[in-house]
Amino acid sequence: MTSINNNAYDGFRTFSWLEDLSGVPLDKINFIIVYMISFAIAGLLRSSLSAEKVKPETRHAFCIIFGLILGYFAFGKYAMHLIGFSTICYGVITTRDPKLIHIEVFIVAALYLSYLHLHLQILNYGTYTLDIRGPIMIMTGKVTSLACSLHDGFARPEKELTVMQKEHVIRKRPSLLEYYSYLLSFLTIMAGPGTFYDEYMDFIHNRRIQEEKLQNKNFSERELQFSINLATLKKVCLGTVFLVLLYVFLHTYDIQNMTDDEFLKNTSMFYKIWCLNILASIHRLNYYFAWVFVDAICNNAGFGFNGFDENGQIQWTLVTNVNVWEIEIAPNINAYIKNWNKVTIRWLKLVVYERVPRFKIMITFLTSTIWHGFYAGYYLSMMHGILYYYAARSIRRHVRPYFLGSKVLKCLYDLLTMVVTRIAMSYFTVSFIVFEFQTAWKIYRDVYFFHLIFPVIGVLLVPILLPANETITISEVKNVDSERNNNKVDS
């Protein structure tokens, strides 16, 4: 089982006394401190350093300087990789042919990140410690999406571009200041999200909001500031709740026991499944806190405006990386993936999925796994993810139509798939958390590989036993849609 090892942590130890006082590891304390400082200074970007008061160059410099200061505080000497990685990739962007720039930048970034993964995996094997790999992973997403957008803008006719590629196309190479600001900004350097270059430039120049003001005369500055404050407050409160829950869970459940032979031998199947679910929940809480709070940091700076929703309310969701409620009630793995690490999913779609000619799903999963690192558990999770994906798609196609005859059956189907998805994702997560193939295999073996039975049936047997019947599918969908319309039920 993995452990936390603060002896491997290279960040500042100024607040080590808080570790002794609270029992929280120092790297986590520094992470929270960086978030608090980032949140405080982010407000300057929409007050004294707003786009209306200072030049873009000033905003860029501010983001770079504090990005490097906070990076050095959190990662110590390893912060040099922030400069090293970004500089090497910029050299490729500015000197190479746009026809191949997306491939060459991807290779250089992947090799640099892979070196760090392997180096730190060997140095600190099997430990959970805040290190430089996180920021470099985020920067890899940024620089490869930038290279793809430049390739689309310089080397491809517009008629060949997909909708997403047209949305993010770039027709002017970034200056050195713009580039470093995009990659090193304190807003997203710790935990992302890996925003797209055009979106970040829109924020620096305040384009989205200014365009909305020109189009909507009723869009007042007072309304804008109120919406920012409200969105920020909600996300800070929600992030705090996740942090408290994480602290409570960690002190209530000793997850280390899950790999003990005595635990595996003397506990029931149902309790093991329950503990796997708790393990997955704790893992999600880490990310819920990080992503929700960084969303609040960006919003506090005025970054994240995403137009209006159907009710006319201002949305601050552009850099939202997770939909917590949608994940917790996800009826299938597709819905889970869609709402988890959303910006990374957009990156994978732009950089990988829309550019490879064949085996799109498998290559995208593999890219995501390599991006995370080289622990065997990651690749075991990847294989589970691919199997679950195809099983969910098969069941939706071959089984779901038989449950669309009435609202009751449909609700029953959704409830069952929600429970199954939650259990499946617990198994999917465990090998990702424990890192090691042997440890994950021991857990799977002691639950009799229960998690593989239904996916295998879904992929291999369901299409044979229940061949897709288009007549049933179409007629039943029409029936349930008619019933929903009559009862004004939102699908």
* Angle ∠(349,352,355) on CA atoms, nearest 5: 100
Question: What residues form DSSP beta bridges with 308?
Answer: 314
φ and ψ of 198, to 5 deg: -65, -35
Cα of 276 vs its chain's centroid, Å: 21
Question: Which residues in 215-327 belong to E strands, given as ranges?
Answer: none
pLDDT digits (tens, 9 = 90+) for 313-348: 899 999 999 999 999 999 888 889 899 999 999 999
Of 372, 384, 398, 451, which one is the catalytic site residue? 372
**The whole model's pTM is what?**
0.89
Q: Is the dihedral of CA 274, 279, 283, 289 positive or negative?
A: positive
Q: Please enumerate in sequence order all residues whose Cβ is within 8 A of that of 371, keeping only pairs 6 or more positions apart, or say none.
A: 110, 113, 137, 140, 141
The active-site residue out of 341, 384, 398, 451 is 341
Return the structure tokens found at 257: 């026991």
Question: Could you give phi then psi for residue 216, rounded to 5 degrees?
Answer: -120, 100
Q: Under a CB-based contact definition with an 8 Å cutoff, are residues 423 and 391 in contact? A: no
Is pLDDT of 470 > 70? Answer: no
pLDDT at 35: 94
Whole-number Å distance between alpha carbons of 174 and 103: 18
Q: Which residues pair with 13 in a beta bridge?
A: none
Partners of 127 in the β-ladder: 3
Identify whether 341 is a catalytic site residue. yes
User: Each residue of 243-254: pLDDT tens digit?
Assistant: 999 888 877 776
Contacts 24+ apart (CB under 8 A), 488-491: 489/407
pLDDT digits (tens, 9 = 90+) for 386-395: 898 899 889 9
Other CB atoms within 10 A of residue 238 CB:
17
Cis peptide before 193 (omega within 30 of 0): yes
Task: Report the 10 Å Cβ neighbour count for 434.
Answer: 25
Indicate the length of the chain as a whole number: 491
Q: Is 119 a catalytic site residue?
A: no
Kindly report, residue by residue over 140-160, the tens digit of the pLDDT.
999 999 999 999 999 999 999
Angstrom distance (rounded) from CA 428 to CA 437: 13
Mean pLDDT of 358-371: 94
pLDDT at 257 over 70: no
What is the distance between the alpha carbons of residues 300 and 414, in angstroms, rounded to a whole number? 37
